[in-house]
Amino acid sequence: MKRRNFLLLGAVSFAASAFASTANKANVCDSTWYLHPDLVKAPNNIILKVRDTDSALGRYNDSSCVKDISMQDVVKLHGHLCDGLVFSFLQITAVLQKLFPDGVIDRTDLRGACKNSPCMVDALAYLTGARINFKTLRIDPTLRASHIIQKISTNETYEVRIMPGLFPENLKIQEKQIRSKISKKETVTPEEIDRVEKLADDFIAMMLHTPLEKLVSLTKLDHYIFEPVSSVDVFGNRGDVVNKHVPKKQ
């Protein structure tokens, strides 16, 4: 108990200090500045209940002791809310609801695979507990925009992806154009990024308000054998930081 009180006091002190250091700035962000305006009240702002273990010695939490995980939590891990994180969260959620119909997700009993995307890997690791170093997270470039998730104890496995035709082609094209300019070391303008971000925000709004059964497609994979990363190159470059120095409009 003393340890928890100490940690809490430290968190409060740090928060107060951080606030004081920014209070005099012209534009002080509110506490939800990093979220999509539709998220809080959206139908797909789903809260997941997860069960883990108590300590490094690995005993289960009591069956009644669960933690809530929200899309906001995954955003804090990932660094920003983007369309890739939203569709990853919703895809994985649809599978977890299938694998754990009682509503409590056992993050000690899951493994999964996805391509080498910051959004998809972060969502998969956070929601399932899968990790490359535990041989429970596989990087598979052939999966494109889909996830594969397997319940270890039963081998029940699903592949999940966005329904065909829902991903905006214009968003895909314009994002590809910007990445092409980056690879050629050409200048990317604030206006180009603004246009892509607007398209992504519109896509996010659609996903947040579309019932999961109309948004994602699940395919059961019978006799699926999960293979940990071995020959696949797991290294890649972060695409979500390449434009961090491009200014925003004043």
Number of domains within the chain:
1
158 inside domain: yes
Task: Determine the Cα–Cα distance for residues 15 and 38; give it in Å rounded to an integer.
Answer: 27
Task: Determine the Cα–Cα distance for residues 155 and 225; give it in Å rounded to an integer.
Answer: 8
47 inside domain: yes
24 inside domain: no
| 101: CATH | 3.30.1330
115 inside domain: yes
69 inside domain: yes
110 inside domain: yes
7 inside domain: no
183 inside domain: no
Segment 200-227, tens digit of pLDDT: 999 999 999 999 999 999 999 999 999 9
Give the whole-number percent of the chain exceeding pLDDT 90.
70
Segment 105-128, tens digit of pLDDT: 999 999 999 999 999 999 999 999
Q: Which residues, in sequence order, are CB contacts of 174 under 8 Å at separation 6+?
A: 192, 195, 196, 199
**Torsion of the alpha carbons at 241, 247, 248 and 250, rounded to the nearest 10:** 160
DSSP-assigned letter for residue 175: H
Domain that holds residue 85: 35-164+212-229
